[in-house]
Each structure stands twice: as C-alpha cells, then as structure tokens.
Structure 1
Amino acid sequence: MSKTQVKTTVIINPKSSNGATGKNIDYIKNIVKKLDNPEIIITTSKNQATDITQKAILNGTEKIIAVGGDGTINEIINGFFMEEKIINPNVIFGILPCGTGSDFIRTLHLPKNNNKVIEKILENKTKLIDIGKANYSDLNHQAKTRFFINASNIGIGGEVVDRVNQTSKIFGGFASFLVGTILSIMDYKNKKVRITFDHEQKIEFTTINIVVGNGQFCGGGMKFLPDSSIDDGLFDILLIGDLSK
C-alpha cells in the first residue's frame, strides 16, 4: 500500500481477552472493515504493537485503532512517541475493546456493542486527553521511559499485573486481579518511598502501593480513583500506607 492509501491502521492483539480475540478474528475483521480503508495488522509478539504504531504514523496513517485490552492500549500509546517526543499530534487514537481488565475503557463509557463503537469512531468526534510519563529503572538497572493514559502503579500493583499477565485470565478481569493480589501479598515487602509534589512539597513514608491515575479504574474494574478525569490536566493519586498481611 502507498502512504496516501492508508488512512486507518487497525492493530489487533489476538491474545487479548484470554485468546478470545484470536478465536473471533474473522468477526472482528468484518467489523473494522467499516472504517476508512483500514490496514489490519495482527500482532504476534509482546511490544510489537509499539513498533507497528511508530511505522504506521511515520508512513502517514491518520488513525490508529487498538483492538485489545489495557496492555495493547499501552503498547500503542508508546508507539505515538519516538525519543520521548510525539511523532504526529494530529493522528487520532481509537479503541475497540477486547481485553480482560479493560480498565481504561470503563472511564470512557464506550458502548458494549462493537458495531456501535465503530460508529462512534466514524463520527470523527475527538477529545484531547492527558498522558502520563514515567521515568524508572528496570530490573537490570537501565533507565527507561514509558507513557501511560490510564494509571501507573508503584509497589505491589506492578507485581500483581505481572502475575496476572502470566496466567490464562480464564476467570475474567476482576477475579484474575483479585487472585493475583492475594498471591502477591503473601510475599511482598512494603517499600519506603519519598514523593515530591510540584517540585517542592516532599513526604516520606512506607507503602504497599501508590496509584498515579489518569483514568478511574485499575485491577480489572476496581474504581480506585473515582474523581479522576482524563482531560483536566491533573493526575489523581492514591497513597496506600504500610498495610500488614
């Protein structure tokens, strides 16, 4: 395809929703074909959606549509950036929900019917939303940067997500995260942290988890941040103290 032909790039994660997306791939393809001349790409490996997004934007696509859950959404959002700078601020991002947790779409109040979601996308009504940026060191002590549109956890939350992602998620989002939380609590040690607000105010305490939120939901539907808004220019923060087992 030439650069001018592709207006919409649809990125499908077949492993999302415990593999249900892959089993229904023909049905999903028929739905997304209603979009403007879509190029449909199916991911085959973790983090591939980030590279696909970057290449599609550089090749001139006008819309990126994620078909998957929160993990797929996060990979694609990071593909909007190169060297920590947004590639093209005019590219539109849309979501066709197909995930286990699907926490971000709960904040968006998207229709449950996928055909109606496609109709919403075709209306071309957009909203400018906030994006978070996290600078951190990975397990190999290498400096990393990632962007997020829903929430970022510091503490046990990250371990829970990692544990859940290693399971089949056969029992759905809430139950998977609940079991993951219980198992993680058994051997998790609370951490001492120092937080600086607005470059001035500092607090130090021991915590089991901190949630920095743009969206309202985490952990498969738990409404941790009910007052959070994705377009108010602010993050909501949930600080959980030194809880014992």
Structure 2
Amino acid sequence: MNQKIKLIINPVAGNNAFQKAKDEFHQAVFALLGDVSTAFTTAVGEATRLAQNALRDGYRTIVAVGGDGTINEVVNGFFEDGRPVSPEAELAVISMGTGGDWVKTLELPEELHEAAKRIAEGRTKLCDVGLLTCRSSDDRPVQRYFINIADAGFGGTMVERVNQSTKALGQFFAYLIGLLRTLAVYKNKPVEIQVDDVFHATQVVNSVVVANGQFFGGGMWVAPEAKLDDGLFDVVIIGDVNRAEVLANTHRLYNGTLGRHHKVTTLRGKEITLRSEHDVYIEADGELPGKLPAKFQLIPTALRIIC
C-alpha cells in the first residue's frame, strides 16, 4: 500500500493481548504493510483524539488495534460536529480485544497475518454508522457515534460489570459471568419506545437493542438479519422476561433464535427514541456513554471500511 497508514494501538485491550503477541504482530503486520506510523493509547478516549489528529495530518487509512471499545473510539475520531473529518479516509481493524463482536459481522480474520493481508489488499465497502444522543450519568448532554450495537437496559448494566472484572478467562466467559451477575440484581423497567412512525408504545422491558451489526456481548447473536449497509437499524425489544426465562433462553442469544421468543419484538427503522422515568443505562459498542432519554439515528454509508 502506498498511502499513509496510522495504527492506533490499545496495548491493554483483551487482557494485554498486544503485549503478549508483540513479536508476532511486528513480523506479520509491518512485513505486509511496510512503513506505517503507530500511536499507543494511554487513557480512555485517547484513540478518538489520535484518529482525528491522524486524519487532519493526511493519513488515509486508520487501523484500530484492540477491541470493540477501541474501534468505537477510533470511529468517533472520524467525525466532528456531525461531519466526516476526511470523507475519503478508510477504517481498518486488527481485533485484539475482549468482545470482537463487530468484526464477526464483517467476517474479518482474527489471525494477525490474515488481518494484515486483508488490509494490504485494500478492498473496501461503505457502512452505516449510528449516532446516539443521550444524557451522561451526571445529566450532561452526550453525543456519540457507534458502528455495531447500542443497548438500553440490561446490557448497559452488564457491560459495566464486565468492564470492571478480569478478562483472564477470555471473552465468552467474561460476558457470560457478567450476564449471570447482572441477572441476579437487575430489575426490568418501563420504557417509552418509538421507531420511526411505525411503532410507539410504553412497556416494561429488559432491553432495547439498536443493532447495526449482528453480534454483541462477546458473541451473542442478537440481530442475525442486521446488515451494516442496508440503511436500517434492526431493533430487538426484549420484554418483561424474568430470571428463569433468561436462563432458559440464554442459548437463543448465541444461536440467533432470540427473535422467536414470544416476549421479543423485532422491528427495523432509521430513528429510534427511548424515554423512561427511571434510570436506564446505555452501552454502545461496549462503552458506557450514559442513560435515557436517548435518540438513535442511522447515518447511511457514512464510513469506508477495509474488509
């Protein structure tokens, strides 16, 4: 590749996955991509600033090296004040994190050499991006882009627990343990839901999932029909399920059949608004931006991805 490439690396993602594979990384990635520039994150949110600065400096390809949270931060660096910083720029990903959910939808390789080879080949597609507007935990306005899935309710509480726990057992067990710990204490809450002009209701829910991609929560296949470039969110409303129902149907989260449960509603739309009189927290691409009220808006073909 003859264009300028910037690698933004989260060295502690995936239980220090980069540090453990540093030699292999150098042999695989630098051999295939050649003379590239690297930057390492040292704090939460830093990948956004690094991506924006790189794009302003003329880098054409930004490679996020880490997990879903790192990817989310880098994606946010592609936009400023609602506009792309560099419309022709491309995002590439080398997955080294806990979740790895967005790369599953794109079917990107996890092996380092194959991931670098895919970047070197340079095939791209335009993907949709979500724009989330909500309130922070201390009630400040928040605006955040997401590329995979946002979830209000159970998922926001679960991700908080996962992020506070060890990832030493790997992504599957980290999220499964987080699910079980959250299930022991979480109470479903009434939420007012509006999807475009086709659905408007207030109901007690466990979660409302707004999906651009198909997977979240370390491999949970919550939206099997979602496409990254169809101009629509897939909305999965998980109703007033109790603990026993969650446990009895956990397998549905992993085999893509959750939508068949009688307390689950699936819809599609471009703009979703959620409100509640209770504190209902949100996760977006594994990050925790805030709580309801929230609006989720789809921006079609907003980001060019190397895939």
TM tier relative to shorter chain: over 0.9
2:22 maps to 1:25: yes
Match of 2:7 among 7, 10, 17: 10
Q: Deviations over 1:64-118 (max 9, x none)?
A: 0011111111110011111232211210000011111100111111223221221
Change (3 A) 1:36 1:61: farther
2:194 pairs with one of 185, 191, 196: 196
In the alignment, the residues of structure 2 paired with residue 17 and residue 151 of structure 1 have an alpha-carbon distance, to the nearest angstrom, of 19
Asked if the contact 1:101–1:172 (Cα under 8 Å) also holds between the matched residues in 2, the reply is no
| Amino acid across the alignment from 1:62 | R
Instruction: Say if 2:94 and 2:110, in contact at 8 Å, map to a contact too.
Output: no
> How is 1:52-63 mapped onto 2 (pairs within 5 angstroms)?
52-63=50-61
1:109-148 alignment to 2 at 5 Å? 109-148=107-146
1:22: how far off? 2.1
**Size of the alignment, in residue pairs?**
241
Aligned residue in 1 for 2:210: 212
Match of 2:76 among 72, 75, 78: 78
What is the percentage of aligned positions where both structures have the same residue? 39
CA contact (8 A) 1:32 1:38 kept: no
Amino acid of the residue matched to residue 70 of structure 2? T
4+ residue runs over 6 A deviation? none
Which one of 230, 234, 237 corresponds to residue 236 of structure 1? 234
Distance 2:138 2:84 in 1: 27
| d(CA) in 1 for partners of 2:139, 2:195 | 25
Asked if the contact 2:63–2:91 (Cα under 8 Å) also holds between the matched residues in 1, the reply is yes
Contact 2:98–2:170, Cα closer than 8 Å, also in 1: yes
- Where 1:17 maps in the other structure, the secondary structure is helix
Letter in 1 for 2:19: G
Mapping of residues 44-193 of structure 1, within 5 Å: 44-193=42-191
CA separation of 1:36 and 1:127: change in aligned 2, threshold 3 A: farther
Could you tell me how far apart the structure 2 residues matched to 1:121 and 1:60 are?
18
Q: Name the amino acid aligned to 1:24.
A: A
Q: Which amino acid aligns with 2:154?
A: I
Q: Work out the CA distance in 2 between the residues paired with 1:57 and 1:199.
A: 37
Higher relative contact order (CA 8 A, sep 6+): 2
SS for the counterpart of 1:131 is strand
Using structure 1 for the length normalisation, give the TM-score: 0.93
Contact 2:5–2:63, Cα closer than 8 Å, also in 1: yes
TM-score, normalised by the number of residues in structure 2: 0.75
| Higher deviation after alignment, 202-211 or 185-194 | 185-194
1:37 aligns with 2:35: yes
Query: What is the Cα deviation at residue 211 of structure 1?
Result: 0.9
Structure 2 runs not aligned, ≥5 long:
244-307
**Residue 36 of structure 1: how far off its partner (Å):** 4.9
CA contact (8 A) 1:151 1:214 kept: yes
Q: Please report the RMSD computed on the Cα atoms of aligned residues, expressed in angstroms.
A: 1.5
Shift of 1:23: 2.6
Q: Distance in 1 between matches of 2:42 and 2:82?
A: 25
**Per the alignment, in what secondary structure is the counterpart of residue 208 of structure 2?**
strand
> Residue type of the partner of 1:19?
N
- Taking the aligned partners of 2:103 and 2:221, their CA distance within structure 1 comes to 12
1:156–1:209 contact (8 Å) kept in structure 2: yes
Q: How far off is 1:136 after superposition?
A: 0.4
